[in-house]
Every structure is written in C-alpha cells, then in structure tokens.
C-alpha cells in the first residue's frame, strides 16, 4: 500500500480543523496508508483526532536537541529525512503560509517536482487539479517524482471521516548542518487598518454611500470581518473616498478570499480589479444591477439597512 506522509498544523495545542480535508486528500480512496507528522504538539495528544480521519501513525518529528520550529529549514530537512526513513511515496501539506514555505523548501531539498495548492487528487490517474491563471482555468497536472510532493488548498477537499487504529512514534532527524534561515520572532497581528491589496476580505462601498462619513458603517463591519474597506471609482469620483481606496482597473487590483460589494453596480472596469476574488457577494437595492450576474451571492436591499445587520450578525456569531 502506498504511503502518504502528511505534515499536520496545530494551534493552541490542538489539531486545526483544516487538516482533516488534507488527510482526506492524502488517503485517496483509502488507497494509501497515511502517516502524520507533527512538530508542535505531543503526538499522543493528537492521535485520536487524526485517527478519526485515517491516520494510522502519528510521528513526532524532532531534530535532536534543537528546536525544529526555530527554522523552516530545519523542519523541511527533517521532513526530507522522514521521507527516506518511512519510505514515503507521497508527502503532502496544507497550502497555508507555513505549509507553502515548508513544502517549497522540501521540493528543493529533494529536488523533485512540487505541485502546490491542489484542489483534488486522483492517485489512480496520477493527476491532481489546481488553478492556473489566477482562477480563470483549472489545470489537471501530472504527479511525478519520488516522492510525489504536493500541498492542498485549505477547505478545497471536504473532510471524510475514516476511523482507523493509530499508533504514535518519534523520529529524530539527523540534520547536521546549521539552518540558513532562523525565526527571530513572531509578531502578533497589528491593529492598524489593513492594506487593501493584502486583505483576505474586502468590503467595498459604491457611489450610493453618499458621503465620506458613511464609510464608517463599512469600517465597523470590516473590523468584525477582519477586512479592508474599498471604494468604487464612482464613489471616489464623487469625492466620497480617497483614491487609495479605489478598486478597479485604474485603481487597485485585489484578490481576496471574500469580496463584499455594497452599492456597486458591477462595471467592467471595477470587475477587472477584483474578479479573481474567490467569493463575491453583492448588496444592492437594484435587482437589475449587472453585478448580480457576475457574483456568487447577493442580497437585494438597501446597504444602509443590510450592512449594520451584517455587522451585528457577524459579531453575534463570533461570540458564540
């Protein structure tokens, strides 16, 4: 049975839920034996959670007396050593910021192909599907190399429970050379307003916002969402927002996970600046607004009514 190694991400002592989809991808049609590697926690603590999703072995990855988390190089090299040790056919991780980094290093260390950010995998056909051209096309790519190295887009694969018996183990990788890159510190998140082009969520106000002050309503929602606030060209043109907030072809191009357009009609120029957003929501009281033809979800309503309620509902669900 082919063996698939998986690098697990943990947080505050627990296995992050996003790992389960990764594990489902790792196991295929129960074709593969899945071995999980964990660097932060105690493998034993995570065992039951991981076993529920098909992991038969949970390995504590170590680098002797060193701190494996003090350098991404160390972690990647340990993982490379584990590949050999456990004779892995495949090794997978999450396409999160940490995961992308470790696996980028891993692919280079092993000098094998890396397929990053896949959304599905077919072990039989030896292919995986991922985005090409910023979400405009889907590419089915070959899985090659030994081991096959890939990362999975978080939440792209629905987790499917597959309880198995699991055991724990420890692996001490021999990584003799000093790492090239060290983690000096980790800074907590900043409180300042998020930069539009980097924000994972954006809420934009169009011309119906009517006045600069009315953006406060969006600011409040943005705070709960962890979003940045944008403006349409028409709104900037009318003097309701500064140019730095303009999203669109002649403004900023953004690609957040979630884009909420309030009172935005959906001009081609505006769309060119945000169409690669993963999910687009429109709030507009004109049911014929073109944006409703081009977004994923919509609410037909006055944004001055809808947005405050949205803020409220989001706050309430956070507190839950």
Partner 1 sequence: MQVYVCAKHVPDTAANIKIKGENDYDTTGLKFVVNPYDEYGLEEAVRLVEKAGKGEVVIVTVGPAQAANTMRSALAMGAARGILVKSDDKFLDSRTAARALKAAIEKDGSPDMIFTGKTSVDTEGSQTPYRVAREFDFPVANEISALEIQDGKATAEREIGGGAREVLEMSTPCVIGATKGLNEPRYPKFPDIMKAKKKEIKEFELADLGIDAPASDGAPVKLEPVPERSGAKIMQGGSVRESVEELVKTLKDSKVL
Partner 2 sequence: MKTNARVVVIGGGCIGVSIAYHLAKYGWTDVALIEKHELTSGSTWMAAGNCSFHHGDYYGSAINKKSIEIYKNLEKETGYSPGWHTTASIRTADNQDRMDELGYTYSMHKCLGLEVDYVTPEEMAKLHPLMNTEGLIGGLYWPDDGDVDPNGITQAFASGAKKLGVEFNTHTLVNSLTRKDNDEWIVHTDKGDITCEYVVNAAGLWSPEVAKMAGIEIPSIPIEHTHILFESIGAVSERETSLPLVRDGDRSIYIRQEMDSLILGMYERNAKQWYKDGVPWDYAQTELEPDIDNIAENIEHGIYRFPIIGETGFKHVTAGPITYTPDANPLVGPAYPLKNYFLACGYSFGITQAGGIGHYVAGWIMEGEPELDLWTVDSRRFGSFANWAYNHEKIPETYAKLYDKIYPNEWREAARPSRTSPIYEHQKKANAAFGDYLGWECPNWFAPAGTEPKEVPTWKHSNAFEHVDRECKHVMNHAGLLDLTRFAKTKITGPGAEEWLNYLTCQKIPAKDGRVALTPVLDDQGRFKTDMTVTRVRENEYFLVTASVGKRHDQHLLLNELPSDGSVEMEDLTYKMGCFVIVGPDSRNVLEKVCYGDVSKEAMTFASSREIYVGRVKCMINRINYVGELGYEIFHPIEQQLPLFESLMEAGREFKLEMTGMYAMESMRLEKGFLGWKAEQTVHHNPLETNIDWTVKWNKDFRGKAALEKIREEGVKQKLVALVIDTDGAEALGYNAIFNNGEYVGMTSAGGYGHRIEKSIALGYVTPDLAAPGTELDVNILGENKKAKVETMPLYDPDNSRMKA
Most distant pair of Cα atoms in the chain: their distance:
65
Binding-site residue total for partner 1 (CB under 8 A)? 79
Does residue 293 touch partner 2 according to CB under 8 A? yes
Cα separation, 190 vs 263, whole angstroms:
29
In the three-class reduction of DSSP (H, G, I as helix; E, B as strand; rest coil), residue 318 is classed as: helix
Considering only residues 127 to 156 of the shown chain, the ones binding partner 1 according to CB under 8 A are 127, 130-142, 144, 154-155
Chosen residue from 29, 188, 239, 288 binding partner 1 by CB under 8 A: 188
Q: Measured at the alpha carbon of residue 172, what is the angle toward residues 168 and 176, in degrees to the nearest 5?
A: 165
Does residue 280 touch partner 1 according to CB under 8 A? yes
Does residue 253 touch partner 2 according to CB under 8 A? no
Chosen residue from 52, 164, 238, 314 binding partner 2 by CB under 8 A: 238
Tokens of 191: 């409180």
Query: Which run of H or E residues covers position 18?
Result: helix 18-27
- The label of the residue with tokens 């990584």 reads 175
CB-nearer residue toward partner 2: 10 or 249: 249
Tokens of 278: 């993963």
Does residue 296 touch partner 2 according to CB under 8 A? no
Cα separation, 107 vs 61, whole angstroms:
18
Peptide bond into 147 cis (omega under 30): yes
In the three-class reduction of DSSP (H, G, I as helix; E, B as strand; rest coil), residue 261 is classed as: strand
Does residue 105 touch partner 1 according to CB under 8 A? yes
Measured CA distances, 157 to 20, 116, 240 (Å): 9, 14, 42
CB-nearer residue toward partner 1: 59 or 115: 115
Does residue 120 touch partner 1 according to CB under 8 A? no
Question: What is the nearest approach in angstroms of partner 2 to the Cβ of residue 265?
Answer: 5
CA atoms within 13 A on the CB side of 159: 19
CB-nearer residue toward partner 2: 109 or 272: 272
CB-nearer residue toward partner 1: 41 or 197: 197
Q: State the binding partner of 238 from partner 2, partner 1, none, CB within 5 to 8 A by kind.
A: partner 2
Taking residues 272 to 291 in sequence order and writing x for each that binds partner 2 by CB under 8 A, - otherwise, the string is x-------------x-xxx-
Query: Which run of H or E residues covers position 237?
Result: helix 233-237
Cα separation, 151 vs 141, whole angstroms:
13
Question: What is the nearest approach in angstroms of partner 1 to the Cβ of residue 195?
Answer: 6
Considering only residues 64 to 103 of the shown chain, the ones binding partner 1 according to CB under 8 A are 72-73, 96-98, 100-101
Does residue 120 touch partner 2 according to CB under 8 A? no
Tokens of 276: 């690669």
Q: State the binding partner of 276 from partner 2, partner 1, none, CB within 5 to 8 A by kind.
A: partner 1
CB 23 within 8 A of CB 100: no
Chosen residue from 148, 152, 222, 258 binding partner 1 by CB under 8 A: 258
Does residue 210 touch partner 1 according to CB under 8 A? no
Does residue 270 touch partner 1 according to CB under 8 A? no
In the three-class reduction of DSSP (H, G, I as helix; E, B as strand; rest coil), residue 77 is classed as: helix
Q: Which residues bind partner 2 (CB under 8 A)?
A: 207, 233-234, 236-238, 243, 246, 249-250, 265, 267-269, 272, 286, 288-290, 293-294
């Amino acid at each position: 049975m082919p063996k698939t190694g998986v690098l697990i991400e943990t947080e505050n002592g627990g296995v992050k839920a996003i790992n389960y989809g990764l594990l489902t991808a790792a196991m295929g049609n129960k074709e593969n034996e899945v071995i999980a590697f964990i660097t932060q926690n105690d493998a034993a603590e995570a065992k039951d959670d991981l076993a529920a999703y098909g992991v038969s072995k949970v390995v504590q990855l170590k680098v002797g007396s060193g701190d494996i988390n003090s350098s991404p190089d160390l972690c990647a090299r340990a993982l490379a050593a584990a590949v050999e040790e456990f004779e892995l056919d495949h090794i997978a991780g999450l396409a999160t910021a940490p995961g992308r980094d470790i696996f980028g290093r891993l692919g280079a260390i092993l000098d094998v192909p890396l397929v990053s950010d896949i959304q599905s995998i077919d072990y039989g056909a030896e292919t995986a599907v991922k985005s090409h051209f910023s979400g405009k096309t889907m590419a089915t790519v070959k899985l090659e190399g030994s081991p096959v190295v890939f990362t999975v887009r978080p939440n792209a694969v629905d987790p499917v429970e597959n309880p198995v018996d699991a055991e724990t183990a420890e692996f001490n990788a021999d990584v003799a050379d000093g790492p090239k890159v060290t983690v000096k510190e980790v800074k907590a998140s900043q409180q300042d307003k998020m930069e539009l082009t980097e924000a994972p969520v954006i809420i934009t106000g169009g011309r119906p916002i009517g006045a600069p002050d009315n953006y406060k309503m969006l600011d409040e929602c943005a705070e709960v969402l962890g979003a940045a606030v944008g403006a349409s060209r028409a709104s900037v043109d009318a003097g309701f927002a500064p140019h730095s907030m303009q999203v669109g072809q002649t403004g900023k191009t953004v690609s957040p996970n979630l884009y909420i357009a309030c009172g935005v009609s959906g001009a081609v120029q505006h769309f060119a600046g945000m169409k690669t957003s993963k999910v687009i929501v429109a709030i507009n009281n004109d049911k014929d607004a073109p944006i409703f033809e081009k977004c994923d979800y919509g609410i037909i309503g006055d944004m001055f009514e809808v947005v405050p309620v949205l803020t409220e509902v989001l706050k309430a669900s956070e507190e839950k």
